[in-house]
Structure 1
């Protein structure tokens, strides 16, 4: 949260190296008004999607989801915060309001919003690639209907789903990458392959050097922008660089620059799904839950119930 949208030099100048929760620097362009440990749009939209999935009991009300997103942004504005909808989601909802159909609205969405909030789908859906592709597309096409966005979201969801079955991050990668390459109706198969190849490149870079150099290489050679081909791939590299440890992944993501909160959301979701909740520092979990007044147990139970029903 405190480093989102800032480049690496600005992060070092404002914070040194971020190793735990800190307040944003005064006048932060996006995180102004938030406090140390407070979540951003990534977590809030993830919880929103979890609620929608549970309410729809295995179906998915796309119109209801559109209304959820619009209502969420209104609530953010009412709180006086600046952490609003990402570019693809914003463009899709504007298109809907202008008369576009739900099928048309997200056709240009190439950014990382689908992957950043896909964790509930990974929890609720068994790790079958074809089924996961259908489910990810169902919940994502409204805002992110392009091959790279869907491929990135499918890869993330497949890692999370396999993690719940006991797979390590490295064990989950082959099936996740294979799922990312599956073509989706109406999307460019080359875009799916490009996303998978970009993830492979990030993983290779992260495995070549120490943490400090690997962080620089991921930022400079893969990229950390809101584009799926950059930040989603980078998140995979971050998990490998952190050796699968979610707290270490959070620290790397916080310092890597640009879309740090989304890279952190994706990387930590995958790492924690594979390493288990015991791998997270209990005092930090308690702090996040308390500061944000989160009650996650009902959502976890609801998503697991969907997973069992889908078998």
Structure 2
């Protein structure tokens, strides 16, 4: 690593966590909508909006408010730090179930996903086991994994993948969920280390392949292959288009219609990487512009908050916190009191570098 890359690591670490939160908040009001509905209501999302009254998930949430993606990532970060790099399965179950109880009491609609809740109930009743996450195949693991990418260096890859597996195994112990989470964590880790988009994508692909050897088999395609195909497909489709706005439209249509934007890991994780490729095609260095990346992802609809959170974490790692508009960071911070992402990022980076948090 060069001296410049080392000096930029603190900003990149902070950028990864803030990129996640900003993407989550931008995508909060568009989650569950079709891409056409998002376009009709908001155009290309360019600011934070309150949760729409007709939303089954986000109704009543103020503009800039985050969802379970950020909340659960914070829980993972805290447990990583408390465990000096490891996450206790029983503690994760307790912390996530306590979070759900608080959210329910507050009238929140954005609660634990089906895979996570089923696994946590099993852990609560029977204790941690290698089978509690047997049926966890959705993107709940990938959406909250970015802190592992901040706290663990990209090499050796086996160590990074091992950390991902240990964090995800209690709730998402399937080959597809582990592959998706590993792809996101590895891309974030490579970005924080000073890598560019190509390095982040390649590291994510390699990690997805390695992680797919772990966990229970379920009938899902290869995340690594779909990630690679999604990135290639977007680039091929937008290359003949000259106008940046038309490139966003062409690329977004490909992601919506051919890659997929559901909560299925094999759709949403490749979609997040496709958004990074699209932003890079729209503007030089666009993948390192987390505001552009998060805007494109939030405009997709579907599981847009999670796609924007994952893409935002990688992009924030590439560009650093300094690449985010200060007003956007300030609005998210104001809408979510106590969101101490700078402190968490700094502590995770110390953990990564072999110090104490």
Q: TM bucket by the smaller chain? A: over 0.9
Equivalent residue number for residue 242 of structure 1: 279
Deviates more, 1:201-210 or 1:80-89: 201-210
Q: Quick check: 1:60–1:139 contact (8 Å CA) kept in 2?
A: yes
The DSSP-based 3-state class of the residue aligned with 2:188 is: helix
Counterpart position of 1:25 = 52
Write out per-residue CA displacement over residues 75-120 of structure 1, whole angstroms, 9 at most, x where no aligned residue.
1111111000011101111233443743111111110011101110
Alpha-carbon deviation of 1:287?
Answer: 1.1
The answer for unaligned runs of 5 or more in structure 2 is 1-27, 239-246, 281-286
Q: Would the alpha carbon gap of residues 98 and 170 (structure 1) be closer, same or farther in structure 2, given more than 3 Å must change? A: same
Q: Distance in 1 between matches of 2:218 and 2:135?
A: 15
The alpha carbon displacement at 1:190 in A equals 9.3
Kindly state the Cα deviation for residue 162 of structure 1 after the two structures are TM-superposed: 1.0
Q: Is the 8 A contact 2:178 2:215 kept in 1?
A: no
Does the CA-based 8 Å contact 2:149-2:188 persist in structure 1?
A: yes
Aligned residues: 310
Pairing partner for 1:303 from 340, 348, 354: 348
Give the Cα–Cα distance (whole angstroms) in 1 for the partners of residues 219 and 101 of structure 2.
37
1:274 paired with 2:314, answer no
Contact residue 115 and residue 172 of structure 2 kept, 8 A: yes
Please, which of 240, 245, 249 is the counterpart of residue 212 of structure 1?
A: 249
Q: For 1:157-210, what per-residue CA distance to the aligned partner results, in whole angstroms no more than 9, with x for missing partners?
A: 11111111110111222232112111434444996x711000011101221212
Asked if 1:221 is matched to 2:249, the reply is: no
Q: Alpha carbons of 1:190 and 1:79: their partners in 2 closer, same or farther (altered >3 Å)? A: closer
- Partners of 1:124 and 1:307 within 8 A in 2: yes
Deviation at 1:60, TM superposition (A): 2.2
- Rounded to whole Å, the distance in 1 between the matches of 2:315 and 2:86 is 28
Say whether the 8 Å CA contact 2:44–2:296 is kept in structure 1.
Answer: no
Aligned match of 1:181: 209
Q: Write out per-residue CA displacement over residues 48-86 of structure 1, whole angstroms, 9 at most, x where no aligned residue.
A: 111111111223211001101100111111111100001
1:48 aligned onto 2:75: yes
Secondary structure at the residue paired with 2:29?
coil
C-alpha contact (below 8 Å) 2:201/2:273 kept by paired residues:
no
The answer to whether the Cα contact below 8 Å between 2:87 and 2:166 also exists between their aligned partners in 1 is yes
When normalised by structure 1's length, the TM-score is: 0.94
Match of 2:163 in 1: 135
Contact kept, 8 Å, 1:181 with 1:189, in 2: the verdict is no
Distance 1:185 1:3, change over 3 A: closer
> Greater relative contact order: 1 or 2 (C-alpha under 8 angstroms, separation 6 or more)?
2
SS at match of 1:73: helix
SS of 1:104's equivalent in the other structure is: coil
Q: Which residue in the other structure is 2:19 paired with?
A: none
Residue 136 of structure 2: SS of its match in structure 1? coil
**In 1: Cα distance, 2:47 partner to 2:41 partner:** 14
- Residues 285-304 of structure 1: matches in 2 within 5 Å? 285-293=329-337, 294-304=339-349
Runs of 5+ consecutive residues of structure 1 not aligned to the other structure: none
In 2, Cα distance between the equivalents of 1:178 and 1:18? Answer: 32
2:117 counterpart of 1:90: yes
